[in-house]
Amino acid sequence: MPSGAPRGRGRAARKSATGRGADRGGYWIDALKENATEKTNEAARRLIEAHIASEEAQGAARAVSIAKRGEEWRPFNLRAEEEASFLGAAST
């Protein structure tokens, strides 16, 4: 058996497996890729929306907590919170 024959069949099999051969049913691969892309984009959009909603809920919970304690609301300062949590704990 010539050494080029199996190699040629391997290329044909790979070509068919990648969906390039319409005669083997590969015509639907592009539609599946498009559908997957659309679903991925929709999932990313929903993830961003969920993150925004979570941030808003955290802010509302913080505002309610501050109001219940009778404190004055001030913008969240991450650096000050870090210092209070880590440096304040280290000094005690």
Query: What is the CB neighbour count within 10 angstroms for residue 59?
Result: 11
Q: Residue 43's pLDDT is what?
A: 98
pLDDT band at 75 (very low <50, low <70, confident <90, very high): confident
Mean pLDDT of 26-45: 94
Most confidently predicted of 42-46, 61-65, 81-85: 42-46
The predicted structure's pLDDT at residue 1: 46
pTM of the model: 0.52
CA distance 17 to 24: 9
Q: What is the mean pLDDT of the chain?
A: 80
Task: Return d(Cα 19, Cα 42) in angstroms, integer.
Answer: 25
Position 64, amino acid:
V
